[in-house]
Structure 1
């Protein structure tokens, strides 16, 4: 007898429901997120007999301890995505009603009736990579918002300088930590600006940067109302941006060290367009490649496999809306980098799709889908990318 278990994961109290092959409820209880309560729940699972298959709607985060406890005991775990649970719940009586016991029962039924993707244990390297990638993503998103705010403020008080500076670089940000308004820059002069910039190591072309700032300052004689307060905020944002850049650089260094110890890193990086950051994001998304029995399964997980849309006499294919957005971004960005770096095979495939009438994004998605198959095959066969073999 197969036992299908669904667990609605939560921070404080999980809810578990187990059903048999006929869908009859065998267990329905709350499980506190505490070691002793999870141990008691495992004893109850053992008492059900058979070999239970357990579905979780959340992987990682506050489900990590529960997940590790169940994997350590040798249980088979599968992932039931939250959107699948929500949509499946609409088909039961009472449609829009929601509760933890109801969600747990829905997950159990999905485990019983669907072929869900397995959850496999990760080693320490993959876990560290996933944590570093998540932290880097947070810092990057915050940095993007911060720089957009800085540009808006700087454009309001000194638009000429905002046009001249690339605030994603270290030099312009260092300048803005001290000099912002036209009056400040004119009063300081080139010598003082160069001396201030020279205090920061590894800055290049500081004299040219000072000349650009002075030219923009001399071109503007108007002092904007409230420019002193705006300048203070710009300086604060510039300091924060420099600190964030340093944090991201440290994370990139840590990721490079972690990738050096991962067995698949060299294989993945041999594919054109896959740099260290994209490789780390790819490993963080998929974990163990054995979770995906085929390249088609990996493409479906990334939302890159087209799906049929048929009704009556009309039939066709459309792009997938769902899928793991982070994994899709890895393949799309890798395809974009391969085309931009003029990789011959990628560029030829992209150009062929453009000649077929596809626009830029469609051609990149088609290339990304092709690269999914190549990458999955490389990892399965333990072979680095060989352009000659691929061309043949």
Structure 2
């Protein structure tokens, strides 16, 4: 005999349901607070159930975040733990008696029932410190980049609202331009400072003279063309200076994170192999290693492609039989392979030739890039399996040696 434990994960407390694998009889269903003492008590009950009824497998519907403490303690206790995705739980619950009615006990029981039906769920393992650190760094960098994009868009919009001439001549993605906007954002401020004042300010902030002088000239010309004070200009100018100051701070923090990511890649055993593939820079390599996690869970390149949503999906019913594009899979993994393929067609002759061949076959730009991304998964998987870096002339070298 065997027992299955389904754990519905939540922030304040979890709900666990332990059922007999053969009969589906519920042996235990109770609340477990999300604290060490309560989880220790749960582990004791799991061990007791295993001793009385046979081998135990537990499943959670969420990984990371609020499930981190629970996951760490279960793995440390030696509990066999698997992941049943929340979407699967949702669909299975809706298809069972009760339909759309939802409760924590019902979700926990549904998770346990899924364990009874299938034995091929993804096994949860303890991650190494390097990969975990990379995941946190990459996640934080992604958040800051998204916030920075939104901040710069707000800066453009605010500038265009009261001083459109200046908004047209500055590049808010450039650090030197941001140095100017920290202090001078209204036509009056620019005219009062004069060309020399603007240049002196930027030079003191570390801007090169060759860049500061043309920028100052453009700013003066824009200020001379506008003498109207827009209603609300004072407050909008305050916000513009604030956006510029925050954008500079964010750039510095993103730079620090990228240095930490580089250090993490130097310590990761697979980083050099992944980076050897054209188009996989430091950031994309770190994002891939962080998102993919333990690469041993992918038994083939096809499985990795499926996880990234880049493997065609069979649609067959009666006489109908065709392949369609996948809609599932990790969007982050798909973006990583798509972006690296886009970079590769500009730097790698073989990738460019493959892309052009697909275009010649009638595929659109997006379709050709998807095809290239899928092909590059095979190459990347081979690099990781053979532990050999990418060689553009691999086939030629092999043929010559033979």
Give the TM interval when normalised to the shorter protein.
over 0.9
- Are residues 1:245 and 2:251 paired? yes
Query: 1:228 Cα shift?
Result: 2.0
**SS in structure 1 of the partner of residue 382 of structure 2:** helix
Give the Cα separation in 1 of the matches to 2:170 and 2:395.
43
Query: 1:4 Cα shift?
Result: 2.5
**SS in structure 1 of the partner of residue 31 of structure 2:** strand
TM-score (norm 1): 0.95
Q: Which residue does the alignment assign to 1:174?
A: 179
Query: 1:88 Cα shift?
Result: 1.6
Backbone CA RMSD of aligned residues: 1.8
- Are residues 1:88 and 2:92 paired? yes
Residues 141-175 of structure 1 deviation map (CA, whole Å, 9 limit, x = unaligned): 11111111111111122223222222111011111
- Are residues 1:60 and 2:61 paired? no
Give the Cα separation in 2 of the matches to 1:383 and 1:2.
43
CA contact (8 A) 2:130 2:264 kept: yes
Q: Which residue does the alignment assign to 1:72?
A: 76
Give the Cα separation in 2 of the matches to 1:219 and 1:307.
60
TM-score (norm 2): 0.92
Query: 1:130 Cα shift?
Result: 1.1
Query: 1:315 Cα shift?
Result: 2.7
Q: Which residue does the alignment assign to 2:298?
A: 292
Query: 1:113 Cα shift?
Result: 2.2
Task: Select which of 108, 112, 126 maps to 2:112.
Answer: 108
Give the Cα separation in 2 of the matches to 1:226 and 1:202.
30
**SS in structure 1 of the partner of residue 267 of structure 2:** coil
Query: 1:390 Cα shift?
Result: 5.9
CA contact (8 A) 1:117 1:292 kept: no
CA change 1:375–1:3 in 2 (3 A) is farther
- Are residues 1:138 and 2:143 paired? yes
CA change 1:385–1:20 in 2 (3 A) is farther
Q: Which runs of 4+ in 1 moved over 6 A?
A: none
CA contact (8 A) 2:278 2:347 kept: no
Query: 1:97 Cα shift?
Result: 0.8
User: Structure 1 unaligned runs (5+)?
Assistant: none
User: Structure 2 unaligned runs (5+)?
Assistant: none
Query: 1:251 Cα shift?
Result: 0.5
Task: Select which of 387, 391, 402 maps to 1:386.
Answer: 391
CA contact (8 A) 1:7 1:54 kept: yes
Task: Please show how residues 1-392 of structure 1 align to structure 2 within 5 Å.
Answer: 1-22=1-22, 23-49=24-50, 50-114=54-118, 115-201=120-206, 203=208, 205-339=211-345, 341-389=346-394
- Further displaced range: 106-115 or 61-70: 106-115
CA contact (8 A) 1:119 1:291 kept: no
CA contact (8 A) 1:56 1:77 kept: yes
Give the Cα separation in 2 of the matches to 1:305 and 1:81.
20
Residues 260-290 of structure 1 deviation map (CA, whole Å, 9 limit, x = unaligned): 1111111111111111111111111121111
**SS in structure 1 of the partner of residue 393 of structure 2:** helix
